[in-house]
Structure 1
């Protein structure tokens, strides 16, 4: 084991300050600093942590068409979403640079390049120099998420160098999409980051599966949401909490080795935590000896993937 093969990573399993972008970002900043204090070179947060996952959809009959209640909730959700162009992540980027730590952050993005009035579930990578390296918009929102989030594109299917490692990541259930995973594997990914809103039932099987398929380390970070995390004074709070369970998402963040065994088991349930561990790149190289999905065990003469990474837009201007 040599120091240039090692990477210390943090998994920030936290609840958002739901529907409050600024307060949630301040909480994220605290956990970034805590991770840096513990020697981490990378810290990751759950899906949609800023300003929170759209739990109201399942709890308030969100598919009712033209509902004034749904419109009002959605409008506030949009208001609290992240606009990267506006500089909403500037302080996070500055902190990453100051503390020399990379960040994977799940957020609800409201981008200007699609008109500024649609929302995307985005996974933002910020490098240790404070630069945004990629913004991956979830390719296909899952089930009722499609009532709040738009369909993303392939622009963010990118990997990033981090010490000896090459890291990439996907949002929640798109981690089950074999071609999306393959697009990252083919770019040399050997550290895969899955982010979920929660819970253990999502993380316990997919994490070792991807690790063994890719022969990579897999970090899975879940959010947490308890009934009391819906703030007092929240718009239509009484309707949202009426049918809400005490624990909506329970965490279950975890890490798997490149052979599919557990490095951190998904046993941190129902509580906030910063889980820290150190990865040794040698383990990747050992497991690639007998299987490398995009290298010596691939057949590009027979099977090949084409990926469109163009950022999609409805208009092209020519001056």
Structure 2
């Protein structure tokens, strides 16, 4: 049915700071979703290779500290370089199963020199093609000690059956203007990815749905003390200050009326599946459309720069 879309929310923990093993978990989730005839699967923010929890646990803002440098080095070494084919196997699965994918990665892009990392949200279509890589515009608080700020190139939407799907990373979802940019592109299925925890998803998910009259799918990861691999550098120092649960999930879906279709799911690892109906979008746009009949572009209008930023332009 063209008006329905079956979604899988992959609420899983990474094999923390281990790129190859986390990719294997992602691939397993895709294969499991394919068995359930899912058409879109979504993973949390920065899932490959994981969220930089050490920053809050080891004095991440202390200057020139050896533990921070060594953990950062380990993090960068396990990040994703798309140009080197790090996501090729995942793209192949998307093509094989005719499944679209939103995947949060820590990206080490060669177009920015290949040494800095970005929290990026990658969209792979049902043909296995990477159609957008959205680098988080503004890392949040201590994230700025390891992630670099992105640009507007990834503020894009994509056709998926009757839906128009777009996405943002974590607290970007609180930024009104990036949201408005996606609305203006016709978004009616909004993907919000998070490192984990219902305190992030329980309010903003319904708020964006009601503001945009769109479906909003929030997907979070999990992380507990037992998920840290034994080979993690400075593990004892990390665990010494870590709570038992660092990310409790909270994946959820709100409908275009702002009401829950699926309330935040806590402490459950695996696939959370739901089928949504596009017809609900048109029903709720009857009384409010933020970039259509209930907008005044003659009074207020947004300008967006979607150029991919680079430090150097080479002229041959």
Deviation of 1:273 after TM superposition, in Å, equals 2.3
Q: Which runs of 4+ in 1 moved over 4 A?
A: none
Query: Does the CA contact (< 8 Å) of 1:172 and 1:195 recur in 2?
Result: yes
Distance 1:74 1:271 in 2: 29
Distance 1:317 1:4 in 2: 46
Query: Does the CA contact (< 8 Å) of 1:247 and 1:270 recur in 2?
Result: no
Where in structure 2 are the equivalents of 1:1-319 lying within 5 Å? 3-266=1-264, 268-319=265-316
* Structure 1 range deviating more: 137-146 or 63-72: 63-72
Deviation of 1:127 after TM superposition, in Å, equals 0.3
Query: Does the CA contact (< 8 Å) of 1:50 and 1:81 recur in 2?
Result: yes
Distance 2:226 2:203 in 1: 29
Distance 1:122 1:38 in 2: 27
Deviation of 1:206 after TM superposition, in Å, equals 0.5
Deviation of 1:36 after TM superposition, in Å, equals 1.4
Unaligned runs of 5+ in 2: none
Q: Give me the CA root mean square deviation.
A: 0.5
Distance 2:298 2:40 in 1: 36
TM-score (norm 1): 0.98
Deviation of 1:271 after TM superposition, in Å, equals 2.3
SS at match of 1:311: coil
Deviation of 1:68 after TM superposition, in Å, equals 1.3
Distance 1:138 1:36 in 2: 29
SS at match of 1:85: helix
Cα-to-partner distance string for 1:76-108 (whole Å, 9 max, x where unaligned): 100000000010000000010001000000000
Unaligned runs of 5+ in 1: none
SS at match of 1:253: strand
Deviation of 1:188 after TM superposition, in Å, equals 0.3
Distance 1:83 1:229 in 2: 24
Distance 1:99 1:132 in 2: 15
* Structure 1 range deviating more: 235-244 or 33-42: 33-42
SS at match of 1:303: coil
Distance 1:61 1:14 in 2: 27
Deviation of 1:141 after TM superposition, in Å, equals 0.2
Distance 1:226 1:100 in 2: 33
Deviation of 1:39 after TM superposition, in Å, equals 1.4
Cα-to-partner distance string for 1:154-212 (whole Å, 9 max, x where unaligned): 00000000000000000000000000000000000000000000111000000000000
Distance 1:94 1:315 in 2: 33
Distance 1:124 1:153 in 2: 14
Distance 2:116 2:250 in 1: 30
SS at match of 1:265: strand
Query: Does the CA contact (< 8 Å) of 1:11 and 1:221 recur in 2?
Result: yes
Query: Does the CA contact (< 8 Å) of 1:172 and 1:194 recur in 2?
Result: yes
SS at match of 1:252: strand
Deviation of 1:311 after TM superposition, in Å, equals 0.4
